Structure 1
């Protein structure tokens, strides 16, 4: 879909080099006709070589220029993916844009997810001696959500919001464990330090990020990319957060399904314990 193609440019734009940004600018300046460009025409319009266009397309996550062009052609309407909030917007307009952003983030992310990556990730998680979730700042919300969910499985899991403790957890892990590392930008210095410690210890790393070409993504054994466009009033996209939470939910559901009866037993015990803390209905 066009929204996915356009969003793949916008979410990766800040990580493109000058040549690639010229290509991106040419497409974004002509969103309704860009799908008609041949690779040679786009190269001429952008003032670059055809080889540069080919590298650009692969850099933002597409296998070939043809695949990228077909995605652009799927919908040649004006791109409203995560439309900016305008001064003239009413309360209803803003609410609808926020909900639309969340819906588009989920659809765009789903389009780019590879089920084979989930199979690999589930194998790593289910066979790990210890699963630890890492995230700093806003990403700690996703990490804690994953921890909260995976406590309902037979897995040995841990998570802590404090960076120093996360760092200590990382250096104590080894190749028999598994780490799930979340970072919206994939460039947070503290998160990268943790990931590098994990890598040095041979720990399998599952990364959830919004940027497929980020330094963190390059350290991953498996990487899940949450597609969402940053807009005004949202320095780190709330829509990306929703997509990342849904990736975590997918991993949790697959783990529960994979572990079968063992998961049901743990889940029943957890439910009974939680239910005992609630006031009975009258």
Structure 2
């Protein structure tokens, strides 16, 4: 990861949090919980507050994509000027929250997830994935649990514009298909943690068979990200009522929608005809049901 800015600082810190050492994670959590304090603190002061060494603070800043602690402080100060620190922790849902607060907090969390994802979704990275899918012989999408719902959504969208593909949510079927993958195939894997074995192993197998692999994950330092040819990072803050996969689902869907639109643009003649044909078939079916 490189070049975090005030705009994507929140997402960058959250993305690498699972892969940090315990001491580095303590510093990262301070950045999320009290960014203004970190921005004001010298490295000596932060060392005392965090109970970690100055060397650990420098290593953590570099792990977050900065050249050192001074650059991290500047980014935090810029984020503060933009109002970013006010939304680092938007407020966890509590068992006794009234439904009005539930609506506000869930809306805020999902809005932040979308904004954080957009901030780190570089057009050139997205463009490489769009091009791979545009040129693909076949596209397979893989995910389990909540990520499986995202995989099914992506496969359905691509089918509507005439791309041959399939969504896999079962590891045995996925491994079977991955073993038969060929150059020209594209495998898109969706995993919040990037460490789910049911997703990682089929991607490893497909890559070894010559397929192009794409990861959509919250963790750019995960095993899945390390295997993939292309990595798109989603965002979403886990809470007691919103485990990681659910918290990141809305941002994964944003990435899927961006990929879909990009592919549809790049294959407009084919995709436009396919959309009209599929819409016509569904409209005719719906009309018959109403008349009957």
Question: Who is 1:12 aligned against?
Answer: 16
What's the CA shift for 1:137?
A: 1.5
Aligned residue in 2 for 1:109: 117
Alignment of 1:48 with 2:56, yes or no, is: no
In the aligned structure 2, how far is the partner of 1:15 from the partner of 1:57? Answer: 14
The alpha-carbon deviation at position 29 of structure 1 amounts to: 5.6
1:191 aligns with 2:190: no
Q: Residues 128 and 23 from structure 1, CA distance in 2 versus in 1: closer, same or farther, beyond 3 angstroms? A: same
Structure 1 residues 128 and 182, CA, compared in 2 at 3 Å: closer, same or farther? same
Q: Give the alignment of 1:1-282 within 5 angstroms.
A: 4-28=8-32, 30-37=34-41, 42=46, 46=50, 47-50=52-55, 52-60=56-64, 62-65=65-68, 68-73=72-77, 74-75=79-80, 77-79=85-87, 81-279=89-287
CA distance in 2, matches of 1:54, 1:265: 55
Higher-helix-fraction structure: 2
Unaligned runs of 5+ in 1: none
Give the structure-1-normalised TM-score.
Answer: 0.88
**Residues 77-131 of structure 1: CA distance to partner in whole angstroms, max 9, x if unpaired?**
5445342112442110011101111100000111111111011111111111111
Q: Tell me, what secondary structure is at the counterpart of 1:33?
A: helix
CA RMSD of aligned residues (A): 2.5
Report the alpha carbon displacement of residue 237 of structure 1 after superposing the two structures with TM: 4.4
Q: Any conservation in 2 of the 1:59–1:213 contact (CA below 8 Å)? A: no
Report the Cα distance in structure 1 between the residues aligned to 2:46 and 2:11, rounded to whole angstroms. 18
What are the ranges of 5 or more consecutive residues in structure 2 without an aligned counterpart?
none
Change (3 A) 1:221 1:82: farther
Q: Cα gap change, 1:237/1:180 in structure 2, threshold over 3 Å: closer, same or farther? A: closer
Compared CA separation, residues 85 and 29, structure 1 to 2 (3 A): closer
TM-score by length of 2: 0.86
Total equivalences in the alignment: 280
Conserved in 2, the CA contact under 8 Å of 1:32 and 1:78? no
Cα distance, 1:264–1:90 mapped onto 2, change above 3 Å: same
Moved over 6 A (4+): none
2-side partners of 1:174 and 1:253: how far apart? 25
